[in-house]
Amino acid sequence: MTASTAVSQLLARWAHLYGHTPVSATVTLAGLALIFASGLLMMFAQLDSFATSVVFWTKMGLIALLLGNGYIRMRAENALRQGLAAGWSRFHRASLASLVLWLVILLAGTLLHSTT
């Protein structure tokens, strides 16, 4: 069995587990735009306290890292679809980083709520 066949089989199993149709880019971008807009509205509601908050700006930096990590994960998924076995390690690292970033962002949001 060649490596590309093994990767194809793993991708087929993965598609079976997570559904055959991926979320479209339009839905993803619409969700991100909605989150971004609601975040801006919340920031402008308490601009005087958020402008000087270290926790707020740390959270914004973490969100920027999460977006960059999403791009890296997307490229790893594309590599896997093309049958490149090296994509698995990038996909694994990006997925793990995404999980950690989401949890840290959640913690920063909780801390931000308790400090303002």
**43 and 57 inside one domain:** no
pLDDT of residue 33: 77
The encoded tokens of residue 97 equal 């980083």
Percentage of the chain modeled with pLDDT above 70:
75
Residues 72 and 35 in one domain: no
Q: Does one domain contain both 69 and 42?
A: no
Report pLDDT digits (tens) over 30-83.
777 787 788 788 888 888 888 888 998 898 899 889 888 888 888 888 887 787
- Full residue range of the structural domain in which residue 84 is found: 53-116
Q: In the predicted model, what is the mean pLDDT of residues 2-13?
A: 63
Residues 32 and 82 placed together within one structural domain of the fold: no
Classify residue 26: in a domain, yes or no. Answer: yes
The yes-or-no verdict on residue 23 having pLDDT over 60 is no
Residue 74 lies inside a defined structural domain of this protein: yes
57 and 41, same structural domain? no
| Same domain (yes/no): 74, 28 | no
What is the C-alpha to C-alpha distance for residues 109 and 35, in angstroms, rounded to an integer?
A: 14
Q: Are residues 27 and 82 in the same domain?
A: no
Q: What percent of the chain has pLDDT over 90?
A: 12
pTM above 0.85, yes or no: no
**Is residue 9 included in any domain, yes or no?**
no
Token pair 């991926």 is found at 22
Q: How many CB atoms are closer than 10 A to CB 8? A: 14
In the chain, the number of structural domains is 2
For residue 51, the surrounding DSSP H or E stretch is none
pLDDT at 109: 87
SS3 category, 22: coil
DSSP letters spanning 55-89: HHHHHHHHHHHHHHHHHHHHHHHHHHHTT-TTHHH
